[in-house]
Amino acid sequence: MAEKRKDPDDGIAGVVDGSLYPDLLRDGGLAPAMRRLASRGRWDLGRIETDAGPARFVTATMSSDRGRIAILLGAEKRFFSIRISHLGHVWASGATDDLAAVTEVANAWRRGATLDELVHRFPFMRTNALALAFERGDPIPARWDELLGHPELVHVRPLLHAAHSDERLGALFPYVSHGALRLYRDVRDTSLGELRLVPLPSGGFRVEATWNGSTGEADTLPEAVGLARSFLS
C-alpha cells in the first residue's frame, strides 16, 4: 500500500506520492481512476470497494464468480499489484506500473478469461499448478503433490505419505496447519467439515471429524489413518 504522509486528513494528497501517481491525484484515488479507465474501455468491473479511512484512496477490490480481485499501490516506486484469490488460494497475481493494464486484467477475469488466457495476454501475470488444477476441476492430486514435495513440511511428511496412500483419505483435499493434517471433505464447501490428524507431544495422534464431533486417539500412524478412515463411514 502507498506510504502515508504525516497528515492523512489532507485527502488523497496526504496519502499518495503525486510524483508517482498523478493520475490518482487527478481522479481522486485508485477506485475512481479505475472507473474512468473502465468507462473509456467499456470494461465491466462491477462494484469497486475500498478499505476505510485514508486507505480508500489506494485500495480497490472487486468480486467475481471466481473469487476476489484486489489491487494495491507500491510505496517507493510506481506499481500496481493485483491478486486474484478464490477458495482460499491465490489463483493469479502480478504487478505493473500500468493502471490500464491492471484494470483490463480485472475486466478479463470477470468476463471469464481462463488462467492460461490471462497469463498469455498479460505477461506480468503469474499463476500456479494448483490454480490451474482448480480451474480444471481436479485440484486434489495437485495439492497432494505440492505438500508432499514442500521443503518446509519434512517434519510431517510421514503423516502426509500415510494419509495420501490411503484410498479414501487421499481423495480428500489436504492442508497442513501447525503440524496437523486437515482433510477437507469438499474444498469448494468447507462448511461440510474436515478430518484432522493431530500429532501429540507425547507421541501418537488425535483424530477429529468436525462435522459430527467424533474424536479419538491412536498410538501409531497406521492406527490414526484407520481411525480417520472409520470416521468417513
Predicted confidence (pLDDT) per residue in 198-232, tens digit: 999 989 999 999 999 999 999 999 999 999 999 99
pTM for the whole thing?
0.83
Predicted confidence (pLDDT) per residue in 119-145, tens digit: 999 999 999 999 999 999 999 999 999
Say how far apart CA 76 and CA 98 lie, in whole Å: 16
The per-residue pLDDT for 10 is 54
The per-residue pLDDT for 95 is 97
The per-residue pLDDT for 8 is 41
> Please, what is the angle between helix 30-41 and helix 99-110, to 10°?
70
Q: Is residue 65 scored above 80 in pLDDT?
A: yes
C-alpha cell belonging to residue 81: 499489484
Contacts of 64 (CB under 8 A, 6+ apart): 46, 109, 110
**Buried b / exposed e along 145-158 (16+ C-beta atoms within 10 A):** ebbeeeeebeebee
Say how far apart CA 74 and CA 79 lie, in whole Å: 5
Predicted confidence (pLDDT) per residue in 1-21, tens digit: 444 333 444 578 888 888 999
- DSSP secondary structure of 81-108: EEEEEETTEEEEEEEES-HHHHHHHHHH
Predicted confidence (pLDDT) per residue in 70-99, tens digit: 999 998 899 999 999 999 899 999 999 999
Collapsing DSSP to helix, strand or coil, 64 comes out as strand
Q: Name the H helices within the chain.
A: 22-27, 30-41, 99-110, 115-121, 129-136, 139-148, 157-165, 221-231
CB 168 within 8 A of CB 152: no
